[in-house]
Amino acid sequence: MIKMFVIPFLILLLVYYPFRSILNWLLYVTFSVSYFTWLYITAAWGEYSVYLKNMYLIILGISIFLSCIFEVKREPTLHKKSMWLPRVLLIIISILQLIITSYFLNILKAPENERGISLALPFKSTGTYYILHGGKNEAINYHYTDLFQKHAIDIVKLNKLGATKRLFGSSHPLNEFEIYNEIVYSPLRGKVVKVVDDLIDQPYKSPDKDHLGNLVVIERQGVYVYLMHLKPGSIVVRSGDTVEEGQELARVGNSGNSFEPHLHMHAVRKENGTAISIPMYVEGRYLKRNDVIGINGP
Ligand SMILES: [Zn+2]
């Protein structure tokens, strides 16, 4: 909350700060661009509304424009001598901030030198699907620190306001979440090698940390694809079944170690007896936080 709402507004208020030189102003601009880029990339906007992130960019643009106008008016105070050290420092800090910004942008790229698997989107219903966690950095994907599921994605669905659930109110029943009870389809052709279907759905924000969740694992050519947190009693395949891509498997629930209803998906390959997560290309895309996949109606 602080990083998404408090700090940005403090930064925007700085536009009224009396910049004593163009370098002061440059520092403000590079700092705010750097912070907003980081926020734009790393915040899980779907928790509030994905439309907010675009609004923030517009506000940032306006604030830079306004500060530029204010600064031009203060031009006469610029030409003081004996200020070279602070000036050099300001330039160095500004350049560093731009370098940091380019690092943020870099985490959005797909991983290189890792063999991945191509999968279909496991949903077919009309609507807007959204990646809550995913990508090749901890800042956008909390799974990333775990070798077993580092390239995992958590998929939810957005309502008309661009959020995963109703925004206000203290309690959030599971059926308030747009993704809850959505039919999950197999993202690949393969063999079902594991099914767990005996766990209950957890209430919102009450994960069962001792269990992964109800799940289906599908194997193809040594790659195992995990689909987790399924709704109890919804799984329609059995261990040993061969499934086609696009075949119905289950429904989205909130079983096991899950904060809110979503579909967790990851793929592993065994290397020297250890299951290691590999990149997934869903409909050709390496999905990361804030990616959106729309399915249009008929
Ligand atoms: Zn997950």
The structure tokens listed for 70 are 């204010």
Alpha carbon distance, N-terminus to C-terminus of the chain: 38
pLDDT score of 83:
64
| Phi and psi based region of residue 95 (left: phi greater than 0; alpha: psi -120 to 50; beta: remaining) | alpha
Contacts with 139 (C-beta within 8 Å, 6 or more apart), sequence order: 41, 42, 107
In the structure, ligand 1 is a single-atom ion and the residues with CB under 5 Å from it are 152, 154, 264
- Report how far ligand 1's centroid is from the alpha carbon of 22 (Å): 46
- Report how far ligand 1's centroid is from the alpha carbon of 84 (Å): 51
**What is the three-state SS of 27-54?**
HHHHHHHHHHHHHHHHCCHHHCCHHHHH
- Report how far ligand 1's centroid is from the alpha carbon of 161 (Å): 24
What string of pLDDT tens digits covers the 298 residues of the chain?
777 777 777 777 776 677 767 777 888 888 888 888 889 999 999 999 999 988 888 888 888 888 877 765 555 554 555 567 777 887 888 888 888 888 888 888 889 888 899 999 999 999 999 999 999 999 999 999 999 999 999 999 999 999 999 877 778 899 999 999 999 999 999 999 999 999 999 999 899 999 999 999 999 999 999 999 999 999 999 999 999 999 999 999 999 999 999 999 999 999 888 999 999 999 999 999 999 999 987 6
Identify whether the C-beta of residue 239 lies closer than 8 Å to the C-beta of residue 194: yes
pLDDT score of 21:
72
The structure tokens listed for 114 are 């890792």
Count CB atoms within 10 A of the CB of residue 220. Answer: 16
Residue identified by tokens 């409909």 is 283
Count CB atoms within 10 A of the CB of residue 116. Answer: 16
- Report how far ligand 1's centroid is from the alpha carbon of 207 (Å): 12
From 85, 231, 254, select the one nearest 154 (Cα to Cα).
Answer: 254
Say what the pTM is.
Answer: 0.89
- Report how far ligand 1's centroid is from the alpha carbon of 20 (Å): 48
As assigned by CATH, the class of the 117-295 domain is: mainly beta
pLDDT score of 216:
98
From 92, 96, 90, 81, select the one nearest 22 (Cα to Cα).
Answer: 90
- Report how far ligand 1's centroid is from the alpha carbon of 133 (Å): 7
Identify whether the C-beta of residue 205 lies closer than 8 Å to the C-beta of residue 215: no
- Report how far ligand 1's centroid is from the alpha carbon of 96 (Å): 34
- Report how far ligand 1's centroid is from the alpha carbon of 124 (Å): 20
- Report how far ligand 1's centroid is from the alpha carbon of 12 (Å): 34
The structure tokens listed for 3 are 């990083």
Alpha carbon 120 to its chain's center: 19
pLDDT score of 82:
56
pLDDT score of 72:
56
Residue 121's Cβ-count burial label (10 Å; 0-12, 13-18, 19+) is middle
Instruction: Using the Cα atoms of residue 104, residue 108, residue 109 and residue 114 in order, give the sign of their dihedral.
Output: positive
pLDDT score of 98:
85
- Report how far ligand 1's centroid is from the alpha carbon of 127 (Å): 21
